[in-house]
Each structure stands twice: as structure tokens, then as C-alpha cells.
Structure 1
């Protein structure tokens, strides 16, 4: 590793950097590892005091082996680190690189789930812990029962239409048979309440119980959020309705400059194909975190780009780089199943690779970034 220790120390402790004395207790070092792994990763400099002064490492043990053993034995599940002992001002300092954990959530032997906030660590909140379990695939929010709902909140005509290809006449089943069928297909929970996924797919009015489950659309006259608004509207309803409506609105608002060549009108600017727009919106609806209240999908058109921002980070095993090659993970398996059956999506991981491929053909860029608890997809128009 080529590491500029002097520059690192000059930054001071921050969101991704921690200083520790060589006298630190193993449990204290484990807490730092857990906090970094549960957040976005970071580095620990062992042998550097809180004020940035270099105290170095004594010759009493092999610190590389010691730190690695703490990551294996004092962190649950075990972590793999990058560790290197370096020299600065004739003093030894141990550089410990803690990755963004692929198996969140991590905890200490004292059962503490910690996260990194600024230059300090704190106990994860219930919401943060829930999101980490979602990212790990150990918990799926779309299978959770929605309080105060029942079968009466479901659209019977939509259910009839959905089950017809399976040769099931839903409306002609007995009440007990209908309830059992909906439980077996994850539309109803055992309690008789709808699941989040069932309500989003077949609900009469999903936003009544899940106000965060909507798309906020805005068209700006410029390239910044402060620009004048051409239009702004909220798209609510079932996920199929939201997807179809959002695609239609996008197409209606995308300006298609054209010219006359011979007897034909020809577009002079290549805009994203319809299937690119559709795939971007479907992915946002199917893979977003519906457990984050007060956060909607935001779909923005600027003069030079389209932005689609969805609440929730990528699952543990998926990175932005892997998306390009079709690596995916079912954050919401109930929604994925129904949207797949309704032909809105497939499970072969071809969505994002298609978006990149189609836009590259047009000479346009696609940027995918994680920012806080959001995933942002930006498609260039110029």
C-alpha cells in the first residue's frame, strides 16, 4: 500500500479516520472496527494520539497479527482487514484499513451495534439497525404486515386479473380459500393484515398507509435545483401504476429537438430509449427501502440530465461497480416476484447492464452513486 501518513494525520479524526494509542484495549479497538464496518469503512492509525501526535508502537508484540486477531475474534461476524506497519518520523505506526462490511450488521462481543457519525461512534438506532438487516438480506421490509389493514384494502379486480393466468378464479373462491391463497402468496400476513408488498402491488390506496411509497417528479428550467420549475407532481398508487405513469410523464417532458430532412422530421438529439427510462424507474421502485419513512423516490429532469434518487443503500454484497455487470440482490423479494410475474422486470440481472449499454451507444454517460441512505442514478442528456 502506498500511504501518505503525514497527509492522513493532517486531516485529523473524521468520518473515515480514527487515531488510537498503542495502549488501546482490544475491546475498544473492536468498537472502532465495528463502527467503520457498519458505516462506509475507514482507517485506524494505531500509534497516533487523539491530538495527532505520534507516540508510535512499542516492541512488545506483533501488532499486525494482534489487530487481525481482534477483527477475527472480537468482531461478530469476523472481519478481514488490510494491515500494514509503517514508519513516520522514525516511529512505527500501524495502518488498519477497515472495509465497508459485506455482512452487516456487525457487533462487538458485548452485543453493541455501532455506527460512525463524524469523528465519533454511537449505538445504532432501531431504524439504522433495521436497514442494516435489510441490506444483509436477513430481513425484508416488503414482507412486514401493515398495521390496521385487511383484505378489504386490496383491489379484488386486480387480484382476479393477476391469478387468471394461473387458472385460479379468485373471485369465485370461498372467503377462507381467498385468505389462504393471499397468505400463501405473501399478499396477506398470517395476522390477516396486508404485507407491504401486497399493499403496494394490489392495494386500493397504498399511500393511505405508506405515504413514503410514491414518486415525486419535477422538471427544472436549468441545471440546478434552484432553477425555475416547469412542472412538479406526486405519483401515487400501486407500483405498476407508478411505473407506467412516471415513464409517460418523463417521455412527455423530454424535449425532442428535430429538423426536417426531405419529407421527414428527424430528431437532432438522441434521447434515452423508452426501455432505459422504464428500467431505471422499475429498479428504483422494486429495490428502494420502503422502511425509510418520509423519503420518496425523486425523479428530476434538468436541461442536461435525468436524476432518479431512491431511498436506501445497496445490499451488502452489491457495489456500484458490480451493477454494471448485472450483479443484483433482492432487497424486496415479494415485490420482485410480482413485478417479474407481471413482466415489469426479470431476475437475470440484465437491467442495469442494458441501461449502461444503450446509453453508451448514444455516447451518453450513466452515473450511479451512493450518497448517505440514497442511491442516485444520473443519465446525461447532452
Structure 2
């Protein structure tokens, strides 16, 4: 992804009729909402330019500079558009301070997404000429047909022998659709169930074949088709795997069911102490902060590999530590050297990430490890290998 040079940006800025340009004087008032809608529309690239769209901040509608003070805080605010979880799948974009015609402005370059449609708060935004708005049913069909099968992520590839009978269609209608699609959009459209399944990437081939995503999110038994799509939990009364097992569970079902049941297990074993003596108000403590455990667990499900492995997610609770093992090593731009650094994230399963966000299991993309590290400090460490990533949390020190 190569950004535009100054000459190209200047030409785009001067073309007042271009459908690849959005201009804003500042980020005040309703501008943040409008900028996100524009980013979503450029990611969808309804016109099929196959080239980036650009949002200029600090420019009037007529192309004249607004003489905006382009601060680092403004650039950070704009960069948050990628990871704040409102546009899914997360857009590919670059935020820069650029000087054009002797005037500074903030420039957001947005590349078309590989697996449209992208949605902002459950709505599909597109552009027709210099105007933008919500996608019609025909627009949405065009975007759905444009998805590239050969280059698609594994999580939206269809499974040839699976059928709609392998999906929980009641769950799709009552749980997933209301979470993933805005209520007014859902009420207004007249699509068939097959069209809705295809539009949300739960199926392919005209709504007939479940995708990996469909089986993971609304499948009746995902592990029948993806052997590693389950979770193994062990509570071990000791400090190594040869010690007696105090509790164990193999957890099957849709990804969200596995997350809920695993978190219930962790909460049960996370015994709390309550202190009354010597304090004005009772204080409660837990062995491991549950908020941090939730972030690490959900990260494991979102980023693990479901392809080419029969390994489950493994959670081992020892007397002195807790380990979470996730199949699949670093992916994309994430490496062992930059793993966990703020702002460095990539998605092996971008559509599963979108689904977990819609269902409320992910609030902000790219923040899970940072939140866990803030809560756990030096107690948290990672082992990063080509085939797996393991998070180890040391137990409480009693020194």
C-alpha cells in the first residue's frame, strides 16, 4: 500500500466532483461522524476504482485551505478510526500530516477492502459521484459479488460438504442479525433468509454453503467440520502437568458459547478473599483480575488459527500460574519483535473479529493485550512460536 505523492493529492484536492475525495474544515461538530461514514464508503469502493479514497481535514468544500492547526492529538484521533470498533471489518488506512500549496492539512488515505461490504455502526455507506449515502439492496449485492474467493481469508471460505442444516438459523435470526445490522436497516429490507446469510458472510454460493465464519458463529457443532474448534480446560493441583487434575472440561459449541463457558470456569476457580478486619469497608480480591483474563481469552479465540490444525485452545490453571495457549503464531504485520505493541495489529480472522464485535465480545480492536498488561504488569509474559502463542500469568506473590 503506497500513499499518494503530493502531486496526486493536489490533483485530487482540486477536483471538486471527484467521488474519491471528502473535505472537512475541522473535526468539530458532526465532522467525526461524517469522516467515519466517508472512510466506510471509500473502503467499500462501490464505483470499483480499486484505488484509495482520500479525506482531507483542514480544507473547505471549495478546496480552499481552512488554515487548521494539525496537531499530534488530531492525528491520533483520526488514527483511532481504524481501531475504535465502529467500522468493521477494520479499514486499511493511513493518517498523515501533509503540506499542500504551503498549507498543512490532515490526510486520511483509505484503501478498498478485500471483503466488502464494510459497515459503520451496522450500516453500509457508499458513494455515487461526489455524494455519499446508505447502500441500496442492489449496491449491497454488487459489493457481495465483488468479494474475492481465491484471496479471501479462511474465515469466509465455504465448506463444500456443509449445508444450512449445520447452522442454527433461529440463533442467526434472533441473536446475530439484530446485533450485526442496525434495526432500521433490518426493518426496511426485504431480503430472504438466504440473502441475509450471504450478506453477513455466514454462507457463500448463493446462501447454500456455510462458511467457516457461519459454522463458528451460528454452527450447531463447529468441531464436526473444524476439528480444533473447541477448548480444553484443566485445573491442575500442582505446578506441572504430572500433578493431579482437580477439574477438567472439553468445551464445544459456537465460539461465543465457548467463550462464555470458559469465562464461567475461570470465574469459578478465581477464588476471592474478603477482608473485614481493620478496614472501614470490606475489600475483595481475586487471584487474577477477571477483566484481564477476559481480554486474553477473547484475543485467543479471535486470533487463533482454525486452518491446518486440530489443536484446541488450551487453558491450564496451575497452583502458581495460568496458561492460555492459542494455535497459530504471529500473523501479517505482527512479528515476534513487535507483538503486543500499541497500534500493531493484524487479523487472521477479520470477519470473526467483526462478528465478535457485533455480539459485544470485543469493544475496541487492538487494545486487548494493552488492557491485560496494564492490569497484570510483570505477571504477564508471552511465548511466541511459529505454531502457537502462549500467555502465562504468574500467581499472586505472598513474599
**If the length of structure 2 is used for normalisation, what is the TM-score?**
0.55
> Residue 46 of structure 1 aligns with which residue?
none
Aligned to 1:252: 268
Query: Which residue of the partner structure matches residue 329 of structure 1?
Result: 346
- Counterpart-to-counterpart distance in 1, 2:222 and 2:184: 25
Residues 164-194 of structure 1, C-alpha deviation per residue, up to 9 Å, x if partnerless?
A: 35338989998x8211221122100116210
2:253 and 2:187 map into 1 onto residues whose CA distance is: 22
Residues 126-137 of structure 1 aligned to structure 2 (within 5 Å): none
CA distance in 1, matches of 2:224, 2:310: 13
- Counterpart contact for 2:273–2:286, Cα < 8 Å: no
What is the deviation of 1:259? 4.4
Pick closer, same or farther for the CA change 1:171–1:210 going to 2, 3 Å: farther
User: Which whole-Å CA distance do the structure 1 matches of 2:227 and 2:374 have between them?
Assistant: 35
In structure 2, distance between residues paired with 1:273 and 1:352: 14
Rg larger in 1 or in 2? Answer: 1
The CA deviation string for residues 232-274 of structure 1, in whole angstroms up to 9 with x for no partner, is 111111111111110110111123345442586644x653222
Q: How does 1:159-170 map to 2 (within 5 A)?
A: 159-161=172-174, 162-164=176-178, 166-167=182-183
Partner residue, 1:356: 373
In structure 2, the CA distance between the partners of 1:256 and 1:270, relative to structure 1 (3 Å rule), is closer
For the pair 1:231 / 2:238, whether they are aligned, the reply is: no
Q: 1:261 aligns with which of 251, 274, 277?
A: 277
Residues 138, 365 of structure 1: CA spacing in aligned structure 2 closer, same or farther, 3 A cutoff?
farther
Of residues 217, 221, 224 in structure 2, which corresponds to 1:201?
217
Query: What value does the CA root-mean-square deviation take over the aligned residues?
Result: 2.7
- Give the structure 1 partner of residue 395 of structure 2: 381
- Select 2:164's aligned residue among 151, 158, 166: 151
Please state if 1:339 is matched with 2:356.
yes
Distance 1:260 1:167 in 2: 48
- From the superposition, tell whether residues 373 and 322 of structure 1 become closer, same or farther in structure 2 (CA, over 3 Å): closer
| Distance in 2 between residues matched to 1:256 and 1:196, nearest whole Å | 39
Judged with a 3 Å threshold, the aligned counterparts in structure 2 of structure 1 residues 326 and 256 are, in CA distance, closer, same or farther, namely farther
Tell me the matched-pair count: 241
Change (3 A) 1:209 1:251: same
Whole-angstrom distance in 2 between the partners of 1:157 and 1:180: 15
Indicate the residue corresponding to 1:86 in structure 2. none
Alpha-carbon offset, residue 145 of structure 1: 1.2
Q: Secondary structure at the match of 2:322?
A: strand
TM-score (norm 1): 0.58
Aligned residue for 1:278? 294
Deviation at 1:219, TM superposition (A): 0.6
Distance 1:168 1:147 in 2: 34
- What residue is the counterpart of 1:190 in the other structure? 205
Q: 2:302, 2:353 within 8 Å by CA — same for their partners in 1? A: yes
